[in-house]
Chain A
Amino acid sequence: MKKILLLCTVIMFTALVSCSSGKDDGKIRVIGTWGGSELETFQAMADAAGIEIEFETTRDLNAILTAKAGKDGPYDMAILPNPAMLSQLAKDGKLAELSYLNRKNLAKEFGNSLIRLGSYGGKLYGVYIKASNKSVIWYNPEEFEKNGWKVPETWNELISLTDQIRSAGKTPWSIGADIGWPTTDWIENIMVGSAGEDTYQQWVDHSIKWNDPAVKEAFILWGQIVGNKANLLGGIDGTLSSKFQDASYALFQKNPKAFLYYEGDFMGGIVKGQIPSVEFGKNMDFFAFPKIKDKSCVVGGADVIVAFNDRKKVKDFIKKLSSVEIQTVAAKKGFMAANKLVDPAVYPDKTLQKSASILAAADVFVFDASDLMPPAVGNQGGFWDKSKEFIKKPEDIDRILDEMEILAAKNYGN
């Protein structure tokens, strides 16, 4: 009886599995979070490379990859939003090494740090196809002119501008933090500016503790803005429940409800999609995240493509995706290219050109810390939630950081 049961189960499972696979129809199956214009651009890259793709968009990539990634899984490739996910998949043995690419040659085109971030244990697993600059603050130049406000260059100037707007009876900031990553980006920018590159790196590696004075200082500095609910559109509750996209519209709608907004250079497209009348440089612009000490710093992010197997078409596609030609195709459609050889003149709009120039002029470039930490620490349930909790309860800073430290100790294992 047992044997028959077992046999039946096996037969059923095989039937199920064979229904869902049926690979090798020439198309490459890619999974990622991209949709809309990002997906269009990726499609254009694939077209230019002469590869047929089938893209699956998900909002819960981490969960799907935990369950289904691997050599025999349903996907050939994935676009990951951060290097921590790459490391996790690599250490679980789920990624195919890109041994057909040469790390040394690639480093000349992408820079050492992106190649290191695409590697695990000295082996290359991923190629970066899209970069972003997360160190810009958005404003409306027309409103600034009308009110006689000046673009700040240092943190202190930013704080006094905030005070100035508030004392004029207006709301300075619009922050959307229903999800936690925009708030972690804030703290990362302040952290690298106030504590410096080395300390930032040690924070990422957990070589310093979360309740270290340097980390605390970054939160306290942020508290100069979010600690006063009169600074925030919708107050604290509104901030914690609005989407980051919606928060940005407040600056550029007809009667602006707020005047400063922080998030990466990619916001331009999102605002333009909602309010088509905005024009970059006229009534929409950004300035570099102000210096806190003497150095100008940029926090960046990047999307990386990884492969789960070594099919010939996959190899071809990966090789082409890393090339200057295909990355230029993407740059023309609005991706900030990770390949440095792409000519900045091809960018379709001033936003990207300006963002790229801020990136080039920065003294320090670091990668988004929350994306480098183990997901349980850097993402939801960890840094994301704790940075939001700080907005609500700034007086609990010590408890919040102690809890982060406990979480980190558990997940880094040191």
Chain B
Amino acid sequence: MNIKFKNKSEVIRKIREIGLYYLWLFPAAVLLFSFLILPAIQTIGLSFQKKIQIEEGTIRNELLASFSEHYDEKITINKNLSDLENWENAALPVAQKYGITIDTTVFDELSQIKDIVEMIYASLQGKDREKGGLKIFSLENYKNLFTDREMLKAFRNNTIWLLFFTLGTVTFGLLLATMVDNIRWSSIVKAVVFIPMAISFVASGIIWKFMYEIDIDTGAINAFLDMIFNRILKMHYEPIAFLGRADTVNAALIAAGIWMWVGFCMVIFMAALKGIPSEIREACSLEGVDGIKVFWHIEIPMIMPTIIVVTTTMVINVLKVFDIVYVMTGGGPYGAESEVIANRMYRTAFNFNNFEYASAMAVILLIAVIPVMLINIRSFAAEQKNK
């Protein structure tokens, strides 16, 4: 310590000051730690684990073999215990193997061999739970990620989403932002484009599900196409089941996604465009530069930082896309044709009860998001510096 303080009171002042920083930081740090960092570490840990347990099927096969041997005939799983004399003896070897005592008082005339299998299995599970479950380190979850047919489809679809959703929202948002101010009723147009942001995404999904229906009495899009082609142009048009075909389902979902998010992009771009000093535009119009050139050579370069931020935000958004797919197709129409990683992860964890595998998916998503976030943070920092 070679810092010299003039007197004692300054030391105390300094300590107080630093202490105050930490005190202010403390609530945020606790929140971040307990709801972000801790779960993240836990998830990463979980993703490298694999449950080790004896399967019910294994016990069943062993028990059936033991029974068949004991009675010298083929015994099936639905055999009534009351038809088997001294069945306890036949079940004993298997029960002993797993260190379970069979409580015969539970069984009555309704009981079948199936019940013994279940009893042994449930007791083993109970023991496992007491020990906190048997788990080993394994890379299998990660191996499965890149071999499962459904997962590969999800990766493919997320890539499609990444390209077209980002392109769609940013392009349309930018176009609307530049053009909308030059027309009459611009505030109405702005409101209409922005309204989807005010509707919950689940509700939007349900609305779009109706819109895409094949029946022209409910499906607005097919009704519209039917009107254009069949009534006005007198051509032949078969209604299309947009959500029922592998070749249209992703496009249909992405279109709905763009509809939901384009208003958000538009508003941000409009704010950025407003930030361009009006002298520049005046100078341009005095020099006789046409609007398209102003757009490409003046406006775009000047709002580039905003474009980057909006693009990266959309990319992060799209990587974790879930609600649209969950509500509208659940990954269907068949064979995981519109499956995405987040939906797969949800189902793996909560429907198939495989939290380890789902954690591996979460980790992959996290890894995919990190570079985009770094770009975002950097461009923020660069902007700060410029100011």
Contacts and interface: CB of A to CB of B under 8 A. Distances in A.
Interface of A: 5, 8-9, 12, 60, 62-64, 66-67, 87-88, 90-93, 103-104, 107, 112, 115-116, 119-123, 178-179, 201, 205-207, 234-242, 246, 375-376, 379-381, 385-386, 388-389, 391-392, 403, 412-414
A295 to B, nearest CB: 18
A9 B34 contact: yes
Contacts of B214: 234, 237-238, 241-242
Given A122-B118, A388-B332, A392-B334, A112 B126 contact: no
A241 B241 contact: yes
B151 to A, nearest CB: 12
28 contacts: A8-B30, A9-B33, A87-B118, A90-B118, A93-B126, A116-B112, A120-B118, A121-B119, A121-B122, A122-B107, A122-B118, A178-B332, A206-B57, A235-B241, A237-B214, A240-B244, A240-B245, A241-B214, A241-B245, A375-B351, A379-B351, A381-B352, A386-B335, A388-B333, A388-B335, A391-B334, A414-B57, A414-B60
A103 B122 contact: no
A379 B352 CA distance: 10
B350 A66 contact: yes
A103 B126 contact: no
B85 interface: no
B347 A414 contact: no
Contacts, number: 159
B330 interface: yes
Contacts of B129: 93
Interface in B203-240: 212-215, 218, 239-240
Contacts of A121: 106, 115, 118-119, 121-122
Interface string B337-359: 00000000011011111000000
A51 to B, nearest CB: 28
Contacts of B330: 179, 380
Interface string B126-156: 1001000000000000000000011000000
Given A237-B240, A375-B352, A90 B78 contact: no
Q: How large is the interface on B (under 10, 10 to 19, 20 to 34, 35 or more residues)?
A: 35 or more
A284 B246 CA distance: 35
A378 B361 CA distance: 23
Given A62-B350, A241-B333, A385-B334, A107 B106 contact: no
A237 B244 contact: yes
Nearest to A88: B353
B58 A12 contact: no
Contacts of B34: 5, 8-9, 12
B125 A91 contact: yes
The 9 closest A-B pairs by CB, nearest first: A413-B55, A241-B244, A414-B57, A63-B350, A413-B57, A121-B119, A121-B118, A237-B241, A122-B115
B110 A116 contact: yes
A178 B30 CA distance: 45
A12 B35 CA distance: 11
Contacts of A375: 351-352
Contact of A92 (B106, B125, B150, B244): B125
B143 to A, nearest CB: 14
